[in-house]
Structure 1
């Protein structure tokens, strides 16, 4: 969200749209999926840990899209989907993007970390020249004892949207109900079909931020956020109400939508930022480190 606040150099036109900063070519990662495993020694269901991180032209440091320690592994379900924990910022794709994979599987019976199975340990390059605009691409990354599929798209002319979902007010429930379950998802409304799960779980009794998700949204389109609130109890979820709102893409600024569901008040905030960031705001050594990384030279930091 580095470029959220308009600057004095934005030069807005008659529609108050910034003319100084441009939309950028960005990469959107939709999901990671465990395609298969070849080792019979893996836990069932598979317990996965490690990291997947992106390095782009904007900043050579790791931008994690999955990062779980061995003490808190992700349990892969029947669909194979690996729940992403990022990215924490938008991914610029005006040059090759590198994605690092270091994923391990806990061996049956637990044991020590040195006994775990190396699923994937590699770096994959994704080219902006071979990816078509607003087209979903699936690529399989093969490893030592299995493979992971990554679904992604290149968006030519997009903004970074940081979507925050939070609870600002929650009513007390009867003893027959265990709590309230909130499901929140975002969707594209133009050019490309895509869904992003923002939150799916039981909401706490106190006001809190439930999730923060960064997505890329192409210019002249909207991001639609849908919410479903249900009561839990008796082994089933009983839907109470659902609602949605749309957020038109912007280069700067933010917008908050408030949903009063009776038993809960849900706030959705979308903060917009262009990745047209001046070098001076990234620091004097950022692009030097980036060049060194591209040339295979070691440098300090993650």
Structure 2
């Protein structure tokens, strides 16, 4: 295994201790401490007038500031000039000439048959460190326009199969329209990301200029960044990937003792003629940083086809926030919350009853090998 050539993460002792205390409070508040959360300590759903940013304020850093560091991009890792395919180091550790998407599916061990003594008390299957992406943001762009069209991909390669596990992937014919400072919608990962070894984050994102030829498009970011236990701490952190024509901020974390949570959302009992505006956000590990999973308009009862794989520390709580409204309505969106405790196996269900529809949430738990 190649050791990371990057500098060790520089975090002060006081900040690190604050983080450990915050994580301890978040993980144990359901036992001997009164809950800091509006929905209590048991599985439930409720309505709140407060934002989750306020509700999680007790675990923010003391100075409230977010440190953004520059990502160290591997030399000779560009796709546009083809140097990545000639890089013997990246080929050795990441098999970067293999362009296939990972074929490994989530929920591989949600319902295993070889647990001992049983699934609830299983001592056969074990948790591991995993990587979790919190957000992607267009930090800056050199194009002289308020909105830009982005296409390309950001993907990871982990030790499970070294194939591409896409965080976002858009074709030139179906670009993302965003402005500087906006989030880039994440459509992955397809499955949980193992961090037992090093993980490569590979990216090739471009700005569509409006012409017919791809050669005239601008390169936003291009290359590979390596993450390992040396530079990916057990807390969320943000790095800026700088490119020729802009930069993308990625916020991620290494999650200890983690399991894979696969979230499925099913909309049913939809009132005819009602268009549901639905947004879904996830909070894990006591973090105040939300993970935006979807923002969509739904016109009929359906099972949302997008499946979400999240890394959650074992025996901690995962919180889901739904913002629900009616398309074109002048009324404020209603917020609904539910929570799930992470297990190594099995499935949990919760149903949120609305006036015009019903939302069924299924969470499947699994370890990853």
After TM superposition, is the score higher than 0.5? yes
Matches within 5 A, 1:185-224: 185-188=281-284, 190-209=285-304, 211-224=306-319
Corresponding position of 1:243 = 336
8 Å contact kept, 1:228–1:243: yes
What is the alpha-carbon distance in structure 2 between the residues aligned to residue 221 and residue 5 of structure 1? 20
Matches within 5 A, 1:117-128: 117-128=218-229
Q: Does 1:23 align with 2:23?
A: no
Q: How many Å apart are 1:68 and its aligned residue?
A: 0.1
SS of residue paired to 1:17: coil
Q: Does 1:81 align with 2:183?
A: yes
SS of residue paired to 2:215: helix
8 Å contact kept, 2:135–2:292: no
SS of residue paired to 2:135: strand
Q: What count of residue pairs does the alignment treat as equivalent? A: 263
**CA RMSD of the aligned region, Å?**
1.9
Corresponding position of 1:99 = 201
In structure 2, relative to structure 1, the CA distance for the partners of 1:159 and 1:28 (3 Å cut) is same
1:105-148 CA-partner distances (Å, limit 9, x unpaired)? 011x4332221111122111112223222x11111112222221
Match of 1:172 among 262, 272, 276: 272
8 Å contact kept, 2:138–2:179: no
Long gaps (5+) in structure 2: 1-106
SS of residue paired to 2:130: strand
8 Å contact kept, 2:265–2:360: yes
What is the alpha-carbon distance in structure 2 between the residues aligned to residue 232 and residue 120 of structure 1? 35
Corresponding position of 1:280 = none
Q: How many Å apart are 1:219 and its aligned residue?
A: 1.5
What is the alpha-carbon distance in structure 2 between the residues aligned to residue 96 and residue 262 of structure 1? 48
Q: Does 1:72 align with 2:170?
A: no
8 Å contact kept, 2:140–2:180: no
SS of residue paired to 1:114: helix
8 Å contact kept, 1:28–1:91: yes
Q: How many Å apart are 1:78 and its aligned residue?
A: 4.5
What is the alpha-carbon distance in structure 2 between the residues aligned to residue 225 and residue 122 of structure 1? 33
What is the alpha-carbon distance in structure 1 between the residues aligned to residue 302 and residue 231 of structure 2? 45
In structure 2, relative to structure 1, the CA distance for the partners of 1:210 and 1:170 (3 Å cut) is farther
In structure 2, relative to structure 1, the CA distance for the partners of 1:193 and 1:57 (3 Å cut) is farther
Match of 1:184 among 268, 271, 280: 280
Corresponding position of 1:8 = 114
- Structure with the larger helix share: 2
Match of 1:232 among 318, 322, 327: 327
Return 210-219 or 145-154, whichever deviates more: 210-219
What is the alpha-carbon distance in structure 2 between the residues aligned to residue 5 and residue 121 of structure 1? 40
Q: How many Å apart are 1:179 and its aligned residue?
A: 2.0
Q: Does 1:258 align with 2:359?
A: no
Q: Does 1:35 align with 2:130?
A: no
- Structure with the larger strand share: 1
What is the alpha-carbon distance in structure 2 between the residues aligned to residue 261 and residue 237 of structure 1? 15
SS of residue paired to 2:202: strand
Corresponding position of 2:164 = 62
In structure 2, relative to structure 1, the CA distance for the partners of 1:161 and 1:225 (3 Å cut) is same
What is the alpha-carbon distance in structure 1 between the residues aligned to residue 348 and residue 232 of structure 2? 32
